[in-house]
Amino acid sequence: MKSTEEILKSDFKLISNSIMSSSMKAGTKKPDNQSRQASRIEGRSVNEAATIGSLGMQRLEKALLPYEKQLQKQEAFRKRLGVKEVDQPTYQRYIIADISRFEKQRMAFLCMRPENPYGEDLRKKFKARTGHDHYLSPLAYEELDIEDRFGRAMADAGYRACGEYDPVPFAVTPEPGRVEINDKAWISRLIKKVGLMFGADMVRITKLDQRWIYKDVAISHPYAIVAAVQHKPSLIDLAPSYFSWASSTDVYSRLKLITTQLTDFIRSLGYDAMYRETRGGGEPELNMVPIALDAGVGEFCRTGRVLSPEYGNNMRLKAVTTDLPLVADKPIAFGTHEFCIACESCAKFCPAGAIPKGAPSTEIPNPVHNNPGFRKWWINAEKCIIFWGMNKKKWPSCGGRCIAVCPWNKPMNRFHNSVRLLAVHAPHFIKKLLVRGDEIVYQRKKKIT
């Protein structure tokens, strides 16, 4: 007798083949002028890169060939999935008024600092509900179960580079040693390959929108290079726990190293660059969600995060800003809004009840912690952060429960890529069936153990 997963695989394959067939028929139309022009530009960039290679870049190209192949694989996947590049980011649908730069001191994480006047009410609520003064106030190891001591030790070790590593970047190489860039497309692709080499799972580029720089932070660089790194699924799937927290701290530290390396690489070429702090518990400079959306990492999703075609919302983001002349990537569209409308798993399984169900709204749950001017899914930051401190014997934060239950966060393989294809192109009722199938196969439960 077939298992539930085998039946689902068979059904998904039949529906996937049907949709792929119709997509291929729809995709046989004659390319328009814009497509032909893009092809000519792409071909010209390849020729120019080859010319540069003939002038002594062969070893560089050979050294980075594995990461060129990785880029090509990512691009091919997005093409097969039907991801579209668009001129304007799809978050425009959520903007209903002029957007002012946000004052970072209003962030819920920073409001937990005793000297922050915006956080007085939140700190009182947190203390009353949890008995602790801060969400990061640790318990002594002897108060934890043996197994959780291992998880806590992993998390503490993983966090150290993120919390303590704050290097002074290299000096910018002066004019005699500066590398003159006459092919922005070539250097942009090179930056991506170097970022992958340093350990990023994805690297994208955007022009830096001043609206997404926090108020009273001055950044004059025109470009932002966005690095994304996945959480380790085996750890994040245990959220909330010390093990899922270890996944978060590990990613934060790896991103810190990757962005400092990219910064030093660019400065060594003779251009100004700086890694930017984005962690809420630090001194954040950039609002990474809209910047990543501008760069085409993914689309805005119900959790208030970025959901990418490859990794879902199972990733963290960090950026380097620079004056290196680059070519910005386009934003993308692949139906995330429609999928989130059909899904609601993150809201259903959020133990704090911090994620809303239903359609986007103008009702702001915590005006102190949110910027007006949007009709979107608002996260109740106070509910989220208070839950972090509710049971420190078992978890130091929710550890990404909304990430662990997202149906999009699956391995990159033939079966799950077929399901992704359905999630992008299928009608609403099929999307809901996919979500229900995910709950059954992975035995999703509301209760936290």
Domain boundaries, the chain: 84-441
**Spatial distance between the Cα atoms of 366 and 383, rounded to a whole number of angstroms:** 10
Residue with tokens 């070429």: 269
Given this model, what pLDDT does residue 15 score?
A: 47
- Helix axis angle for 4-26 and 414-425, nearest 10°, is 60
Mean pLDDT across the stretch 111-128?
96
Q: Residue range 292-303: average pLDDT?
A: 98
- pLDDT on residue 449: 65
Give whole-number Cα distances, 303 to 190, 246, 357, 380, 381, in Å: 33, 21, 10, 10, 11
What DSSP designation does 280 have? Answer: T
Mean pLDDT of 414-424: 96
Which residue from 405, 113, 353 is spatially nearest to 244, judged by alpha carbons? Answer: 405
pLDDT at 349: 95
Residues 176-181 have a mean pLDDT of 94
pLDDT digits (tens, 9 = 90+) for 69-87: 999 999 999 999 999 999 9
Q: pLDDT value at position 22?
A: 47
Looking at residue 401, what is its pLDDT? 93
Q: Pick from 323, 64, 328, 317: which is nearest to 190 by CA?
A: 64
Average confidence score pLDDT of the chain:
89
Comparing 397 with 203, the larger pLDDT belongs to: 203
- Bridge partners (DSSP) of residue 213 are 286
Amino acid identity of residue 309, one-letter, is P
pLDDT tens per residue across span 238-291: 999 999 999 999 999 999 999 999 999 999 999 999 999 988 778 899 999 999
For residue 357, give the nearest of 340, 373, 335 by alpha carbon. 340
The reported pTM is 0.88
* pLDDT on residue 246: 95
Q: What is the pLDDT of residue 446?
A: 82
- Does residue 434 carry a pLDDT above 80? yes
C-beta separation of 315 from 233 below 8 A: no
According to the 3-state scheme, what is the secondary structure of 173-236?
Answer: CCHHHCCCCCCHHHHHHHHHHHHHHHCCCEEEEEECCHHHECCCCCCCCCEEEEEEEECCHHHH
